[in-house]
Every structure is written in structure tokens, then in C-alpha cells.
Amino acid sequence: MTKQKYNPNEIEKKWQKVWEKEGIYFPDINKASDKFYDRGSQTLKKFYNLWMFPYPSAEGLHAGHAFASTGSDIYGRYMRMNGKTVFQPIGYDSFGIHSENYAIKINEDPYEVVKRTTKHYEEQMRSLGHGYDWTKTVTTSDPDYYKWTQWLFIKMWKKGLAYKKKAEVNFCPSCKTVLADEQVIDGACERCQSVVDKKDLEQWFFKITDYADRLLAGLDNIDWSRKVKIAQRNWIGKSEGRIIKFGDIKVFTTLPDTINAVTFVAISGQKDQFTGKYVINPATNKKIPVWEAIYVLKDYGTGAIMGVPAYDDRDREFATKYHIDILELEPKENDIGKKHTNYHLRDWLVSRQRYWGAPIPMLNCKDCGWVSVPEEDLPILLPSISDYKPEGTGKGPLANHPDFFKVKCPNCGGEAERETDVMDTFVDSSWYFLRYPSVGIDNCAFDSKITKAWLPVNLYFGGAEHSVLHLMYARFVTMVLHDLKLIDFDEPFSKFFAHGLMIKDGAKMSKSRGNVINPDEYVEKYGADTLRLYLMFMGPMDGSPDFRDTGIEGMYRFIEKLWRIFTNSRHGSSLSTADAAPVDTGAITKVDSLMFSNSIDQNFVDIKMHQTIKKVTEEIQEFKYNTAISAIMELVNIFTKYPSQISVSNLKSLALLLAPFTPYLAEELWHETLGNTDSVHAQTWPKYDDSKITSDTVTIVIQINGKCRSQFTVHSPQSTNKEEIEKLAKEDEKIIKWLDGKKIKKVIFVPGKIINFVI
Ligand code: ANZ
Ligand code: ZN
């Protein structure tokens, strides 16, 4: 009988079509909503499994995306097999500088660019075998999405949380736009690394500072890692101190007890200089000089400090440099000044002088001032223009288009001008998780009943680099919508898991290094299942695994071996020794030291099966997919060694364990070998029996003339049976060599411990 060879390309294409047709990843959102409407049962049933949506770049998905998204997909599949109705959507963060800069480079309309890149992403993600709900995708640059981003802006405005003010802002001369504080890393633009300038510009802000305390307090109620919570706390930077008056200058201090040692006051300035003024230190009544200093920040505290060179390093440096007195005095408790709490968190700067973003739905009327666009006029469409390149004038490209900005005031009918800035992409991504379940509904941003049923997100999977930006904004927006009574929860992501970043041959993957891995090649050559397994086997999800493609061959061979185990069992033949050759993955550990004879009872394979189910189950819950996979490999090794002991039920369990990791392979085997007709992904996760796990095995040492030469493992009852142990010991490969041509004089047996051959 000819055996069918493992052909991933054929299998994977086949199941993609079937899954799509049967909609196995498309939960009926409305039906489920009726069922889950009651929060109590909802927590039992629904599972909203979310991976941070990517921005669709020209290069397409790279292997780092594949690593992260596979990690998320495995969890979703696991939860589905644990009885959850899983909703796992995907979309594209398609507005913004990435797409726009690329469009400029190739001189094409960003709209066309995005159409092409999102299509490419979709093809790639489909091929990877992810269980996405393709009926509910979101593209942030589509009018049916950004209409609601504009709506969100208006909600902010009406609640007094959006305002425009002249502010000293970070301006990237290369990107020709303002940047939020969070987008400036050590004085350089996060995207292009250019040194950032300061400019005074009129900008729109969201008042996230009003929510500083809520954002802090909320952290206590969510299941996020310590690390991410610390990052958020530091970013909010709550600091308690006092405001103290030195003459007419107010300073903010966290160490008021050092006031005796204050020898100067400094206000924020463009350069270090003495102002010529003096003020009285209220604690000592002494006259002290007032300076301007660069190190004093304009926007923090009161924008002025009391200089305590004896206790503060920067003050000491300043005093030394400018020959100001240094007073070494013990701090003394006092109650001068007024208690004050300060935050490092700044208001969120949301306007950008660029083209490729959602137009800000505001207009400026000569008589009425700033007025929001009536909601029924949304969306304010981003017009298609050819001169969309930023000029760096402090105004966006839309400011060159009177046909766009010249409008009538909706209040008084007078002359008005639209805002020509567009929104920061972080606004787009601050609420997209609310849109997914309501995709297709066009009379609201999110349907209240559906949202109540499906939100918050149960597991959010994403990069740790978003710890303070995106995650803080999304939490803020959620709190605001909660306060507007539009949703009934105020934390969007019950659990957040920060995955690590994949590297390539020891270095960070980047375009400039030319070491970006395209997953397509590997899918083409080995199939998505091999790639998935390889990516997940590289290390734990929160580590920085190194992609070295030498390992992928071994993984392919492992899958072929799985294939043979199943297909051979169907043909009723047993595995040949060649088939049983161990896979070269480095995963085989303890098993090799176990030696059983063919008389081993079926029980042992069963024990191993239950142990593996337990291990895989526990490791998946911890996102340690690598060790889950090694456990499966160990099991497979046992299967290849004892082919005659494999029961159909063992094979079934193995297929189920494989399903989250290698969804195509598992489905194929489930149907073609095991003869099932429904999807493996709709099955119940295998259960383990604790009573079967405690392995009742005993290790027997084999000695030759009293010296330990080998050992093997048997079941406890067997271990006291001299004849059986002697027979098994003589079958041991090493012992065969020792005994070869020798005469056994005596056999000493210590039941359950040692068998000694005297030769
Ligand atoms: C006296 C003092 C003595 C201070 C000492 C520190 C150490 P956090 O904890 O970050 O809030 N400060 C206040 N406003 C500032 C501004 N606009 N620019 C630069 N520095 C400013 O830091 C609060 C401390 O930072 C304040 O407490 C103040 O210096 C300084 F041994 O006052 B302190
Ligand atoms: Zn008006």
C-alpha cells in the first residue's frame, strides 16, 4: 500500500478553504450577545482574544509578527477547546507616518498603498493559519472607521477634555510634524532618530492629566505584569510635595524640610543667567538670588525650584558652576507652604501637521470660536490631494486646500474654517478594540448590547514597547467613555501579555541591517505548521528568541515523523526502526534514559499521555509554548519506540494537543487518519487523570561484577520479579556488550533495586 507523503502546501490550502466556508472562527456575535448579556454567564463563556493590530508596511509581515501573532493564536485556539466562544479579530493601523512616508517615497496615493499592503497582510495572516474572524476586520484609514474616531474627538470636546492651546512642542524637522512627548526618546524622534526641535505651535490636546489618579488606581485591578504596571506608574509619575512662596515666586518641592539650606531660586529659562532679583527665604529670612536655569522645566510643577545645593545634585552642579553659596544644614521639619501633588504625565497632544490621518472634526468661526462638526455631518472625509507632502511650516497639507477648509459655521451660518491638522494615529488605536465586535453596524461606533456582551478584552497580546503609549491612551479613552455612560467597564484589557521581540542571528531585525525575515519563504518551503512550531519552540513568549533557520529543518522532520505515526497506524503496519529515529531538535531528554522491553504494558504509554496533557495544559496557560512543545516531542518519542502500544485514543489525544500549535496538520490527521467529520478545533481539550499521572516506576541498576554499568525503568509490580528483570537486563544494549562471550557465574538480585551479574 502506498503511503501518502506529508504535503503541507496542499493540506494548508485545503483547510483554509474549509474553515472559511464553515466559518469556524466566526462566532455569531449577536446570538452570543443575547446569551452573554448577563455578565455572570458572559465571564464563563466568551473569550475576546486580541493581538495588537499591525500597521501595514510595504514589506509585509515579518517573522517577528508571525512569532507574536502565533503566540496569540495558540491561546485563542486553546480557549476555544476549553469551551469558550472565542472572538479573535484582526485589523490594520493604517493611518499615520509609516504608510504616508512610504507613499511619498514611491510617489503614490497613500490610499492606494494601504489598499495593497493590507491585502498582502491579509494573505500572509491567512496562510499562517490564524483563527481570525475575517468578517470583522478594521482598517483605521477607512471612512467607516475614522468617522467614529472623529465622533470620539467630539465626545472629548463636549466633555471639556479636548482643547487647543499654544504650547512649546517637539517638532521633528525630518518628519515635519509635532511629536508627543512619548514619541521623543532622549531628544530624538522615535521614528527617524532625528534630533527634535522645540517650537511654539497651536495644538490640540486631550486632558489625560484629569485621569492621572484613576489611571494609577486602575492598575490595581488588572492582571498585567509588574513590569508594565511599573512603566505606567513611572510615566504618570505621581509626586507629593509642597508649593512654597519665595516672594512672588512659587516653587514645587518634594523635600520642604531642606528649606534651611536653600541658597537660590531658579525659574525656567532658555539659558543660565542671574536675573538681578533677590527674594527672601521664608524659613531663614535671608536674601537669596533668583536665577534662570535651563534645567528647570517650564511645564513641570510651578516651573520654578528652590535650589538646595547641599542635597540636590543638579542644584549643587549649578551652584558650583556659578559660585552660589552651598549651605550644609541639617533638614528640619516645618509646615511652610501648601501641600501639592504633581504628575509627570502631560496632556496628550493629538494634532499632527500631516496629511494621512483622520481630519479633526472642528471648525473655527469668526463669531462663535471653535465649534465641533455636527455628528450627523460625519465623517469629514480626508480629501484626495496630490500635494500631501508635509512642508514643515507648522501647518498641515490640508491648509493649502480652501475647498476643504472654507465652510459655513453650523451655529450661525457665518464664515468658518475647518481645522486642517489631522489626528495622531494613537487616537485611532485608542478605541479599535471597541469597534471589532460592532463592525458592520453603521449607526454607532459600537453597539451597546454587543459591547456589554463582548468587552472588555480578555487577553491582549502585544509588544512591551507599547507599555506607556498605546496602553495608557486606550485606558484613558475607556475611562472617558465609561464616564459618558457609553460603556459599563473602565479598564479595556483585563489581562495584558507582553511578548518579547524576536532577533535574527543575535541582532535586532531591521531593514537597515537587511536581516528582516519574511515568513512567506518558510511557509512556501515547509508549510505554516512547521514555521509555527519552530517559532514557538525557539523560547518562551516573553523572551527574545533568535531566528536561526538551521533549526527549522529539524522541526520539519518532526512533523514528518508525526505524519508517519498517524498514517502508519491507519495502515496497520508498525513503525520501522528508520521511522523511529529521534528527531534532531534537542528536545529529547529523559525519555532516552528510559528503557522498556516490548513486554511493557500499555499502561506506560497511557501514563506518559496523561503526563503530557497535564504539562502542555499548564505550559500553555503560562505562555511557555516551547516547553509545551518539548513535552509533546517526548511523548512522540515514546510513541515511536512503542508503536504497538499506541491506541486510537492516544492518537486522538495527541491530535488535540497539536491542534493549537499546528492547526492544519492536526485537522488533516483528525479527519483523514482518525476519520472524524467535524473540526479538530471544535473539540474539547483533552483531560488528564491525576491518578494516572503519578508514575509508579522504579529504576533498576544493572551491575557487572558489582560495578554499575547501566540502568532501566520498570513498573513497580514488575520490579520484584527476578525472572522478568533478569530477562530485561540481558536485553539492555550495553549489557549485551558486557556479557558478550562471557559466562555468567551468578546473578544477585535485590528486588526493586539492583541486578548484579557476576562473570
Ligand atoms: C528641593 C529638593 C531637594 C528637591 C532635594 C529635590 C531634592 P519629582 O519627584 O520628579 O516630582 N523640581 C520641581 N519642579 C521642577 C522643575 N520644573 N524642573 C526641574 N526640577 C523641578 O521631583 C520634584 C523635585 O524636582 C522638587 O523637589 C524640585 O527639587 C525639583 F534634595 O526641591 B526639590
Ligand atoms: Zn459661528
Per-residue confidence band for 505, with pLDDT thresholds at 50, 70 and 90: confident
Residues in a beta bridge with 179: 170
Whole-angstrom Cα distance, residue 216 to residue 233? 6
Spatial distance between the Cα atoms of 257 and 336, rounded to a whole number of angstroms: 9
Mean pLDDT calculated for residue range 359-371: 97
Mean pLDDT of 694-706: 83
Report residue 560 as a C-alpha cell: 514528518
Q: Whose CA is nearest to atom 11 of ligand 1?
A: 239
Query: Which residue puts its alpha carbon closest to atom 32 of ligand 1?
Result: 253
User: What is the number of the ligand closest to the CA of 407?
Assistant: 2
Q: For residue 332, give the amino acid letter.
A: K
Which three cell numbers, joined as nine digits, stand for 642? 512503542
pLDDT in tens, 557-566: 999 999 999 9
Please report whether residue 5 resides in a domain.
no
Please give the pLDDT value at position 17: 96
Residue 49 has pLDDT above 90, yes or no: yes
Q: Is residue 490, in this structure, part of any structural domain at all?
A: yes
Strands (E), 73-221: 85-87, 91-92, 138-139, 162-172, 177-179, 184-185, 188-189, 197-206
**Ligand nearest, relative to CA of residue 257:** 1
Atom of ligand 1 nearest to the CA of 310: 31
* Lookup: cell for 722: 527476578
Q: Say how many Å lie between the CA of residue 416 and the centre of ligand 2.
A: 7
Please report, for residues 62, 380, 529, 718, the alpha-carbon distance to residue 592 in angstroms, rounded to integers and kept in the order given: 37, 67, 26, 20
pLDDT, tens digit, for every residue of 654-689? 999 999 999 999 999 999 999 999 999 999 999 998
Q: What is the pLDDT of residues 226-274, one digit of tens each?
A: 999 999 999 999 999 999 999 999 999 999 999 999 999 999 998 999 9
Interaxial angle between packed helices 625-641 and 602-621, expressed in degrees from 0 to 180 and rounded to the nearest 10 = 170
d(CA 361, CA 418): 8
pLDDT of residue 34: 62
Determine the distance from the C-alpha atom of residue 564 to the mean position of all C-alpha atoms in its chain, rounded to a whole number: 36
Task: Give the number of the ligand closest to the Cα of residue 296.
Answer: 1
Note the pLDDT of residue 450.
Answer: 92
Q: Which H or E run contains 675?
A: none
Mean pLDDT of the region 146-155? 98
Position 119 scores a pLDDT of 95
Q: Confirm whether 573 is domain-assigned.
A: yes
Domain end among 316, 342, 368: 342
Q: How many helices (H) and strands (E) does the chain have?
A: 25, 32
Helices (H), 299-421: 313-321, 402-405
Which amino acid is present at 592?
A: D
Q: Which residue has cell 517559532?
A: 535
**Region 329-338 average pLDDT:** 92
Q: Give yes or no: residues 636 and 731 share one domain.
A: no
The Cα–Cα gap between 461 and 267 comes to: 44
What whole-number distance in Å separates Cα of residue 412 and Cα of residue 158? Answer: 18
Q: Same domain for 576 and 688?
A: yes
Same-domain check for residues 680 and 575:
yes
* CA-wise closest residue to 686 among 650, 661, 643: 650
H/E segment holding residue 287: strand 287-293
Residue owning the nearest CA to atom 14 of ligand 1: 301
What count of Cα atoms within 13 Å lies in the side-chain half-sphere of residue 550? Answer: 5
251 alpha carbon, distance to own chain's centre: 41
User: Does one domain contain both 686 and 704?
Assistant: no
Residues 472 and 448 in one domain: yes
Mutate to test the pocket of ligand 1, among 294, 298, 305 (most ligand atoms within 8 A of CB): 305
| Residue 549, SS3 per DSSP | coil
> In this structure, which residue's CA is closest to atom 12 in ligand 1?
305
Q: Is residue 451 domain-resident? A: yes
Q: Please tell me the distance between residue 252's alpha carbon and the centre of ligand 1 in angstroms.
A: 7
List b or e across 57-68, with b for residues whose CB sees 16 or more CB atoms inside 10 angstroms: bbebbbbbbbbb
Question: Reduced to 3 DSSP states, what percent helix, strand and coil does the chain have, rounded to the nearest 5?
Answer: 40, 20, 40
Q: Cα(412) to centroid of ligand 2, in Å? A: 4
How far is Cα 404 from Cα 361, in angstroms, rounded to an integer?
12
Q: Does one domain contain both 704 and 688?
A: no
426-467 per-position pLDDT tens digit: 999 999 999 999 999 999 999 999 999 999 999 999 998 888
Torsion sign, CA atoms 533, 535, 538, 543: negative
Query: Which is nearest to 537 in space by CA: 107, 73, 111, 67?
Result: 67
Task: Report the C-alpha gap between 683 and 660 in whole angstroms.
Answer: 11
Nearest alpha-carbon partner for 552 in 565, 564, 536 = 536
Contact 135, 21 (CB under 8 A): no
Residue 300's SS3 state is coil
Contacts of 109 (CB under 8 A, 6+ apart): 103, 384
Q: Which ligand is nearest to the CA of 345?
A: 1
Nearest CA to ligand 1 atom 29: 253
Task: Note the pTM of the prediction, 2 decimals.
Answer: 0.84
Cα 151 to ligand 2 centre (Å):
20
Ligand of minimum distance to the alpha carbon of 255: 1
Q: How far apart are CA 569 and CA 669, in angstroms?
A: 11
Asked which of 392, 426, 460 is the last residue of a domain, the reply is 426
For residue 1, pLDDT beyond 50: no
**What is the predicted pLDDT for the residue at 44?**
53
Write out residues with Cβ below 6 Å of ligand 1. 239, 252-255, 258, 296-297, 300-301, 303, 305-306, 308, 311-312, 342
Indicate which atom in ligand 1 lies nearest the CA of residue 295: 19
CATH number of the domain at 646, please. Answer: 1.10.730.10
Closest Cα to residue 168, out of 152, 184, 192? 184
558: nearest Cα among 619, 639, 495: 639
pLDDT, average across residues 139-155:
98
Residue 590 has pLDDT above 90, yes or no: no
Ligand 1 atom with least separation from CA of 308: 3
C-alpha 748/C-alpha 443 separation (Å) is: 86
Instruction: Provide the H-helix boundaries in 82-199.
Output: 97-106, 110-127, 143-158
- Cα(409) to centroid of ligand 2, in Å? 5
Q: What is the mean pLDDT of the chain?
A: 89
Whether 275 and 356 share a structural domain: no
In 504-624, alpha helices (H): 519-526, 528-537, 550-571, 602-621
* CATH number for the domain harbouring residue 308: 3.90.740.10
Residues 572 and 688 occupy one common structural domain: yes
Q: Does a structural domain hold residue 585?
A: yes
Same domain, 750 and 662: no
The rounded Å distance from CA 391 to ligand 2 centre is: 30
* Residue 79 pLDDT grade (very low, low, confident, very high; cuts 50, 70, 90): very high
pLDDT confidence band for 614 (50 / 70 / 90): very high
Atom of ligand 1 nearest to the CA of 298: 17
Q: What's 712's domain CATH number? A: 3.10.20.590
Residue 78, C-beta contacts closer than 8 angstroms, at least 6 positions apart: 620, 660, 685
Residue with CA nearest ligand 1 atom 33: 253
User: CA-based Rg of the chain, rounded to a whole angstrom?
Assistant: 33
Domain membership of residue 16 (yes or no) is: no
Cα(751)–Cα(701) distance, integer angstroms: 11
CA atoms within 13 A on the CB side of 41: 8
Site to probe by mutation for ligand 1, drawn from 253, 264, 326 as the one with most ligand atoms within 8 Å of Cβ, is: 253
- Write the pLDDT tens digit of every residue in 617-663: 999 999 999 999 999 999 998 888 888 788 899 999 999 999 999 99
By alpha-carbon position, which residue is closest to atom 8 of ligand 1?
Answer: 239
Distance separating alpha carbons of residues 178 and 396, to the nearest angstrom: 11
Q: Last residue of a domain, which of 342, 364, 388? A: 342
How many angstroms does the Cα of residue 407 sit away from the middle of ligand 2? 10
Distance CA 330, CA 310 (A): 10
Q: What is the amino acid identity at position 554?
A: G
Pocket test for ligand 1, best of 245, 302, 312 (most atoms within 8 A of CB): 312
Q: Which 3-state string (H, E, C) describes 675-711?
A: CCCCCHHHCCCCCCCHHHHCCCEEEEEEEECCEEEEE
The Å distance, Cα 282 to ligand 1 centre, comes to: 18
Nearest to 215, CA basis, from 99, 318, 344: 344
How many separate domains does the chain show?
5
Does some domain include residue 233? no
Residue 324, phi-psi category: left (phi > 0), alpha (psi -120 to 50), beta (remainder)? beta
Q: Are residues 742 and 638 in the same domain?
A: no
Same domain for 113 and 175?
no
Nearest-10 Cα torsion for 749, 751, 752, 755: 0
Q: Who wins on pLDDT, 654 or 386?
A: 654
Percent of the chain predicted with pLDDT > 70: 93
d(CA 118, CA 145): 15
Is 227 a member of any domain?
no
Q: Which domain holds residue 323?
A: 239-342
Could you report the per-residue pLDDT of 182-209, keeping only the tens digit for each? 778 888 988 788 999 888 889 999 999 9
Short-list 180, 100, 750, 210, CA closest to 470? 180
Are 417 and 368 found together in one domain? yes
Average pLDDT, integer, range 533-550: 90
Q: Which ligand is nearest to the CA of 363?
A: 2
Structure confidence at residue 577 (pLDDT): 32
- Gap from CA of 172 to ligand 1 centroid (Å): 28
256 C-alpha vs ligand 1 centroid, how far in Å? 10
